[in-house]
A and B are shown apart, each in its own frame.
Chain A
Amino acid sequence: AQSVTQPDIHITVSEGASLELRCNYSYGATPYLFWYVQSPGQGLQLLLKYFSGDTLVQGIKGFEAEFKRSQSSFNLRKPSVHWSDAAEYFCAVKPGSARQLTFGSGTQLTVLP
C-alpha cells in the first residue's frame, strides 16, 4: 500500500524567508502527487499537482513543487513567505488506478513577522 511521510510536524519561518516543506512517498510506481493547504476553519485547498511531464510544477499563491523520482520526493517550495501562508500543508498521493487520496500527517507552518 502507498504511504506518505511529511517529516516536519511544525516549521517556523520569518516573513520574506524562503520555505521548503518535505514530502516522501512510498509506492511501486509513480503515483499522482498533490499538495493541499488547510487554513484554520477552512477546507482543503489544492495548491498544485503532478501527473507527468515537467518535474517542476507551479501552483497557486506562488508555490512550486519538484518531483524527484530517485528520492521518491515531492517537496513544496516558496521563495518568499507571506504572513497569510500560515496554515497546515498536506502532501497526498493517489495511485493511477485508485480513487482514494492517501495523505501525509501534515506540516504546520508558522510565519513570524
Chain B
Amino acid sequence: EPEVTQTPSHQVTQMGQEVILRCVPISNHLYFYWYRQILGQKVEFLVSFYNNEISEKSEIFDDQFSVERPDGSNFTLKIRSTKLEDSAMYFCASSEAGGGADTQYFGPGTRLTVL
C-alpha cells in the first residue's frame, strides 16, 4: 500500500539554524500539506500546496517558513531561523484532490527539537 514517507525521523538543531524537513507524498497525489503538533497540544494545520504554489496557509506559517517541491517526488518544509517554540512533531500529508471529500494521508512525522 502506498504511503507518505518523511525524513529524518528526528532532527535536533540549535536555535537560529535553518532546517529542512523532507517528505515523499504518495505518487499520484496532487495536494500536499504540512501540519505540526507541539507536545501535548493539538495537531495544527500549517500549509497546503498545489500546482507548485501555496493554496492555503495558517497564521502559524509566517515568513520564516517556506515550502517547495524541488522535483517530482519530494515536498519540503524549510524553517529559516529556528526558535525554541518550533520544537514539535511535523507531519506531512497528501491527497489525490483538494476537495472536502478527499482523504489526507499522513506520514510518520519528523520530531524537531530546537535547543
A contact set with B: CB distance below 8 Å: 31-32, 34, 36, 41-46, 49, 51, 90, 92, 94-106
Known pairs A45-B106, A103-B42; A98 contacts B4 (CB<8 A): no
Contacts of B93 on A, CB cut-off 8 Å?
44
Any A CB within 8 A of the CB of B48: yes
Interface string of B70-83 (1 = CB under 8 A from A): 00000000000000
Total contacting residues, chain B, CB less than 8 A: 27
Contacts of A41 on B, CB cut-off 8 Å?
108
Known pairs A99-B48, A105-B42, A106-B42; A43 contacts B108 (CB<8 A): yes
Any A CB within 8 A of the CB of B107: yes
Contacts of B98 on A, CB cut-off 8 Å?
99
Which secondary structure dominates where chain A touches chain B? loop
Known pairs A98-B56, A99-B31; A51 contacts B43 (CB<8 A): no
Asked if residues A97 and B104 are in contact (CB atoms below 8 Å), the reply is no
Query: In the complex, which residues 85-109 of chain B have their Cβ closer than 8 Å to any Cβ of chain A?
Result: 91, 93, 98-101, 103-109
Closest to A6 in B: B42
Any A CB within 8 A of the CB of B45: yes
Known pairs A42-B108, A44-B91, A95-B100; A104 contacts B42 (CB<8 A): yes
Bound-complex Cα distance A90 to B89 (A): 15
Contact for B100 among A97, A102, A105, A106, CB less than 8 A: A97
Any A CB within 8 A of the CB of B55: yes
Interface string of B25-48 (1 = CB under 8 A from A): 000000101010000011111001
Q: How far is the CB of A64 from chain B (nearest CB, A)?
A: 17
Contacts of B104 on A, CB cut-off 8 Å?
101
Contact for A100 among B6, B45, B107, B108, CB less than 8 A: B45
Asked if residues B58 and A100 are in contact (CB atoms below 8 Å), the reply is yes
Q: How far is the CB of A92 from chain B (nearest CB, A)?
A: 8
- Sorted from nearest, which 5 A-B pairs have the closest CB atoms? A96-B100, A100-B45, A44-B106, A43-B108, A103-B43
Contacts of A106 on B, CB cut-off 8 Å?
42-43
